[in-house]
Chain A
Amino acid sequence: MNNSVTLAHGAGGRQTSELIDRIFKAHFANPLLTADDAAVLEAPKGRIAMTTDGFIVSPAFFAGGNIGKLSICGTVNDLACMGARPLYLSCAFVIEEGYPMDQLEAIAAAMAKTAAEAGVRIVSGDTKVAGKGQVDGVFITTTGVGEILEGVETSGASARPGDAIIVTGDVGRHGCTILLERGEFGIEADVTSDCAPLWGTVEAVLKHTKNVHVIRDATRGGVGTVLYEIAGQSGVGVHLDSTAVPVAPQVRGVCGMLGLEPLYLACEGRLVLVAPREEAEGIVEVLKTCPYSANAAIIGEITETQKGRVVMTTEVGAETLLPQPGGELLPRIC
């Protein structure tokens, strides 16, 4: 077998089977993943949640993960935000001709490991090979189905005045990692992506209390964008204590050099939770015992006033608005 992916690997013939056997079956094997046209699955008793997400990331390998791990985390975390235990997952690959086989294997291995941790089974897959230059390396789309735990009702529209806002860890690490890995600005820092599957985290919180109004994972756009979304969807104000937002010093340093706001850097393993004030401390205590949320913190509260806005208390005790999420993140010098 070749050391890189060729167009023949995507043609549906013998080489396609070889690729599937060697890379995908080898890593994803489970009784539900068969050679048939569709997976046949037991339906859970209650409500299900379903979500899909496409993953393109450059570079595909970064400190703390790769596109494979990301493609599982992204979908598992979206399910987890709805209080859904991830059950089944499908994945579709679009691979650029000439892509190194060992890298593809590393991606598949990461997917298998992350799926196992999240307790989700990969039950269906597809592989296409595109000509050189038609895609950038490898693109992955995953779709997931999960079973919503009974009694859980989370939605971005459910935040209520007086609720506390919790973030499960320091913000902006994934975005900062990718920025540094691209090497465009010549900055080095010891930063690792926060990319992580968070069903275990959510399950621990929901075992403690189901009285949680909103769970959101802060992906691209970061925690700042999520807060604006919650303010908009729930028709409430968000009041943030800027000094309470956990940010790793290195991330702060990089942001300082480039004039960026850590609240708008992407995360791939951070949740924003909104819950009644009286539940907040208990939730944070539970979060601190989970592997990916040791730095969980209460960062603010939901308000009746300032609907649709995110107001921050600054280090000098004054109030200001968190700027609205913008488009492309551009480092500024002036």
Chain B
Amino acid sequence: MAGKQTAQEILTSYDGPKLRIMEVCGTHTHEIFRQGIRRLLPESVELISGPGCPVCVTPVGFIDEAVLLTLEKGATLCTFGDLVRVPGTDSSLAQARAQGGRIQVVYSPLDAVEYAKNHPEEQVVFLSVGFETTTPASCLAVSQAEKQGLDNFSLLTANKTMPSAYRALKDSVDVYLYPGHVHAITGTALVESLVEEGVSGVVTGFTARELLTALAVAVTKAREGKPFFVNCYPRVVTREGSPEAQALVARLMEPCNTEWRGLGVIPQSGLRLREEYARFDARRKFDLPAIRGRANPGCRCGEVLQGKCKSTDCPLFGKVCTPQHPVGACMVSNEGACSAYYQYGM
């Protein structure tokens, strides 16, 4: 208890210069709101919600591709629950399901492989979103489908990697709260080297205690005035990360340019299946046309994701865009900054 109190005291008594701390990870955003942590911070410490919710940064066109796969190509979509209500140009997955599309919510990509094995008459496509933490699970799924000789399983990929986003946003942030589970996979070498470029950050876990401690570390170090990096999550995160996961992903996937909702195309910030695994790539397997989705023009999710505006600055927020009827992706995902503001904001 004493430790927690102290972290809390450090935060409430912070009287240094104004600090902008970006929690990159959507799960951090969610937990910070769920625990009411923003309300424990002094005015001079501002928490900005970053682009680390894979649902929020997935472009509208990805949903359109998925809807086309199930409604026109007859594929069964397996997806994390998070994506079900994300609006596409014309339809969300939930709406596609109501029109007869087959959509299975799964806990793990490996469950999608199991589903494919048990339903050989169906073509099963797993909607592969996520950052470094989640991508190994998708790769493991492909690797298992390959071992089992399944020809009815493929991925629709929208996998992304974080480092380019760290660089892209570094000017609007003083300190990053780095996502603990991403760095459990990637290790910390990269963010340690970012210190030389003047980018500060702490990597942290997800409990209230971990978040408060990491924030206390961040404000204390920031006061010293030098760029810094501290691993506040060593029970999970090591310098080298998971070599097994890194090797698996490198074997199956390669970097590609990819569109981030709101941020546009960031070169080499995405991952797609290598040529040798093309038969597991739904885009190539089903010969999908290039689709450009249309987002609602009033929606400011993009700026929200870049920390350039608050959810409450968006003209749609809370009026036409609510968790029940989301317009932008940031309102759909539990992790989305808008959803968190709407649900927990007081």
The reply, when asked whether chain A contacts chain B directly with Cβ atoms under 8 A, is: yes
The residues of A with any CB-CB pair to B shorter than 8 Å are 184-187, 257-259, 306, 309, 311-321, 323-324, 326-328, 330-334
A334 touching B335 in the complex, CB below 8 Å, given contacts A185-B107, A316-B40, A320-B346: yes
Residues of chain B lying within 8 A (CB to CB) of residue A319? 36, 39, 346
By the criterion CB–CB under 8 Å, are B36 and A314 in contact?
yes
A324 touching B130 in the complex, CB below 8 Å, given contacts A314-B36, A333-B81: no
**Interface range, B side:** 35 or more
By the criterion CB–CB under 8 Å, are B37 and A334 in contact?
no
CB distance from B315 to the nearest CB of A (A): 21
Residues of chain A lying within 8 A (CB to CB) of residue B323? 323-324, 326
A333 touching B343 in the complex, CB below 8 Å, given contacts A314-B36, A316-B37, A319-B36: no
Known: A311-B346, A320-B39, A326-B324. 7 other contacts (CB 8 A): A185-B111, A312-B36, A319-B36, A323-B323, A323-B344, A332-B80, A334-B129
Task: Specify which of A187, A314, A320 lies most central, judged by the most chain B CB atoms within 10 Å of its CB.
Answer: A320
By the criterion CB–CB under 8 Å, are B81 and A314 in contact?
no
B4 contacts chain A at the CB level, 8 A cutoff: yes
Residues of chain A lying within 8 A (CB to CB) of residue B39? 318-320
Bound Cα distance from A315 to B130, whole angstroms: 29
Residues of chain B lying within 8 A (CB to CB) of residue A309? 346
By the criterion CB–CB under 8 Å, are A334 and B82 in contact?
yes
The residues of B with any CB-CB pair to A shorter than 8 Å are 4, 8, 26-27, 33-37, 39-40, 53-55, 80-82, 84-85, 94, 105-108, 111, 129-130, 134, 208-209, 212, 323-324, 333-335, 343-346
Residues of chain A lying within 8 A (CB to CB) of residue B334? 259, 332
A321 touching B107 in the complex, CB below 8 Å, given contacts A259-B334, A316-B212: no
Residues of chain B lying within 8 A (CB to CB) of residue A324? 323, 343
CB distance from B70 to the nearest CB of A (A): 17
The 8 closest A-B pairs by CB, nearest first: A318-B36, A330-B81, A320-B36, A323-B343, A185-B107, A333-B80, A331-B81, A316-B208
CB distance from A186 to the nearest CB of B (A): 7
- The number of inter-chain residue pairs (CB within 8 angstroms) is 96
Nearest residue in B to A259 (C-beta to C-beta)? B334
Residues of chain A lying within 8 A (CB to CB) of residue B107? 185-187, 257-258, 331, 333
Task: Specify which of A187, A258, A315, A330 lies most central, judged by the most chain B CB atoms within 10 Å of its CB.
Answer: A330
Bound Cα distance from A312 to B207, whole angstroms: 17
Residues of chain A lying within 8 A (CB to CB) of residue B94? 328
Bound Cα distance from A186 to B39, whole angstroms: 38
Bound Cα distance from A328 to B84, whole angstroms: 10
By the criterion CB–CB under 8 Å, are B130 and A334 in contact?
yes
Task: Specify which of A318, A320, A324, A334 lies most central, judged by the most chain B CB atoms within 10 Å of its CB.
Answer: A334
A-B contact pairs, 29 of them (CB 8 A): A184-B105, A184-B106, A185-B111, A186-B111, A258-B107, A259-B334, A306-B346, A313-B36, A316-B35, A317-B8, A319-B36, A320-B33, A320-B34, A320-B36, A320-B346, A324-B343, A326-B324, A328-B94, A330-B84, A331-B80, A332-B81, A332-B335, A333-B82, A333-B107, A333-B108, A334-B26, A334-B55, A334-B129, A334-B333
Task: Specify which of A321, A328, A333 lies most central, judged by the most chain B CB atoms within 10 Å of its CB.
Answer: A333
A320 touching B35 in the complex, CB below 8 Å, given contacts A332-B80, A333-B107, A334-B82: yes
CB distance from A58 to the nearest CB of B (A): 15
Nearest residue in A to B81 (C-beta to C-beta)? A330
A334 touching B208 in the complex, CB below 8 Å, given contacts A316-B36, A319-B39: no
Bound Cα distance from A202 to B209, whole angstroms: 40
Partner of B345, one of A316, A321, A326: A321
Bound Cα distance from A321 to B37, whole angstroms: 12
By the criterion CB–CB under 8 Å, are B82 and A330 in contact?
yes
Residues of chain A lying within 8 A (CB to CB) of residue B82? 330, 332-334
A334 touching B80 in the complex, CB below 8 Å, given contacts A315-B35, A318-B37, A321-B345: yes
Bound Cα distance from A184 to B114, whole angstroms: 11
Residues of chain A lying within 8 A (CB to CB) of residue B324? 326-327
CB distance from A308 to the nearest CB of B (A): 12
CB distance from A316 to the nearest CB of B (A): 5
CB distance from B53 to the nearest CB of A (A): 7
By the criterion CB–CB under 8 Å, are B35 and A334 in contact?
no
CB distance from A221 to the nearest CB of B (A): 14
Bound Cα distance from A259 to B30, whole angstroms: 11
Bound Cα distance from A113 to B214, whole angstroms: 56
CB distance from B45 to the nearest CB of A (A): 14
Nearest residue in A to B111 (C-beta to C-beta)? A186
By the criterion CB–CB under 8 Å, are A331 and B35 in contact?
no
Residues of chain B lying within 8 A (CB to CB) of residue A312? 36
Bound Cα distance from A282 to B130, whole angstroms: 51
Nearest residue in B to A313 (C-beta to C-beta)? B36
Residues of chain B lying within 8 A (CB to CB) of residue A330? 81-82, 84-85, 105
Task: Specify which of A257, A259, A309 lies most central, judged by the most chain B CB atoms within 10 Å of its CB.
Answer: A259
Bound Cα distance from A178 to B212, whole angstroms: 36
Residues of chain B lying within 8 A (CB to CB) of residue A186? 107-108, 111
By the criterion CB–CB under 8 Å, are B134 and A314 in contact?
no
CB distance from A272 to the nearest CB of B (A): 21
Bound Cα distance from A186 to B112, whole angstroms: 12
By the criterion CB–CB under 8 Å, are A331 and B105 in contact?
yes
Partner of A315, one of B106, B208, B345: B208
Partner of A318, one of B35, B55, B85, B209: B35
Bound Cα distance from A318 to B27, whole angstroms: 18
Residues of chain B lying within 8 A (CB to CB) of residue A314? 34-36, 208
Bound Cα distance from A312 to B269, whole angstroms: 39
Nearest residue in A to B37 (C-beta to C-beta)? A318
